[in-house]
Amino acid sequence: MKKLNRRSFIKGGLATTAAAMVVKEKTSAASGDFDNYPEGMGVIVDLTRCVGCRSCEAACNKEQDLPEPAVPFDDFSVFDHMHHGEKRRTDETAYTVVNRYDTPEIDHPLFRKIQCNHCNEPACLTSCFVNAYTKTPEGAVIYNAKVCVGCRTCMVACPFYIPTFKYSSAFTPRIMKCIFCYDTRLKNGQPPACVEACPQEALTFGRRKDVLKIGKQRIRETPGKYVDHIYGEHEVGGTAWMYLSSVPFDKVGFDTHVPKEPIINSVKEFLAMVPMVLTIWPGLFVGFHLLATRKDKVKEMEKEAELKKAKENDEKEEQV
């Protein structure tokens, strides 16, 4: 089934008319029209409130029907585990993880929850040339597993390293990432499972513009408690999930070098090329490389996998 889709997609990509169509869609997506969703929902994550209880992780696991964890969710030794010198990251078994940061600035640790930030202008969406991603009016960035070809462009494009993949087989790739509980909750006007589970109300859910106002009120009315910045208000063009912190954001694992404008603006030219590149796969991977070097660190492993994939694709093409 998938195999067929993939083949016919590649064939379709060869046709100039089809390519032109994709270009058109791409342009409208890239032009920053997501402000059309002023009623979109958001969450403000207050690091000063989070106590690292992992209730959000447990709730997400059940809500999204994810696999049993390796250790219980009330096991706090996970905060000490490092993987290749890095703290835990989201993957195909966990759409959200909490990490602990011991900062010299304050006498107690801070905890930071990670999940998809549901960007206003998502790089994953704009970089995807089969339009597998959608930004819904409610604010969620969701995906359609049926059209995904598993090229991993979104994975490389996302400034926050969020999308991951599950490969049941080489031909049924499936993007795995937080979907803002869109299917089960958000679209019915309910808060996400993690928000509902949080005992500390470290996660405040509401319309993005309203939670932004709440964040600003907290900064204004408790002087000295927070750094005067809301991460995600402007980063990468604004994100639905935003953060308040009592220490500078780079001290608690945030990338403070992401551009203030949508990622798409810096890769627009490359992306306009993408449909044409469909006929020349090697060129596509030069593009991947451009994207990859824009970010400061990309796993060696991923590159290898891409190369392997490229080879596979080349072979595939020869067969077609």
Q: Cα(179)–Cα(172) distance, rounded to whole angstroms?
A: 19
Question: Is residue 160 a contact point for ligand SF4 (CB under 6 A)?
Answer: yes
Which range binds ligand SF4 by CB under 6 A, 10-18, 198-206, 212-220, 281-289?
198-206
Amino acid, res. 173: P
Q: Cα(251)–Cα(255) distance, rounded to whole angstroms?
A: 10
75's CB contacts (< 8 A; 6+ apart) are: none
From residue 41 to residue 70, what is the string marking binding to ligand SF4 with x (rule CB under 6 A)?
---------xxxxxxx--xx--xx------
Per CB under 6 A, the list member of 2, 87, 118, 309 interacting with ligand SF4 is: 118
Question: Is residue 124 a contact point for ligand SF4 (CB under 6 A)?
Answer: yes
State how far the alpha carbon of 223 is from the alpha carbons of 48, 62, 216, 227, in Å. 13, 38, 11, 9
Instruction: Measure CA of the first residue to CA of the last residue in the chain; give whole Å.
Output: 16
Environment class of 254 (CB within 10 Å of its CB; exposed 0-12, middle 13-18, buried 19+): buried
> Of 212 and 263, which has the nearer Cβ to ligand SF4?
263
Residue 250 DSSP class = G
Question: Is residue 312 a contact point for other proteins (CB under 8 A)?
Answer: no
- 125 near 95, Cβ under 8 Å? no
Per CB under 6 A, the list member of 180, 226, 231, 249 interacting with ligand SF4 is: 180
For the chain, what is the largest distance between any 2 Cα atoms, rounded to a whole number of angstroms?
65
Residue 215 beta carbon to other proteins: minimum distance, rounded to whole angstroms: 9
Residue 155 beta carbon to ligand SF4: minimum distance, rounded to whole angstroms: 9
Question: Is residue 225 a contact point for other proteins (CB under 8 A)?
Answer: no
Per CB under 6 A, the list member of 130, 149, 176, 197 interacting with ligand SF4 is: 197
Q: Binds 97, which of ligand SF4, other proteins, none (CB < 5 to 8 A, cut-off by type)?
A: none
Q: Kindly list the residues in this chain that would bind ligand SF4 in the complex (CB under 6 A).
A: 50-56, 59-60, 63-64, 95-96, 98, 111, 113, 115-119, 122-124, 141, 158, 160, 162-163, 177-181, 192-194, 197-198, 200, 202-203
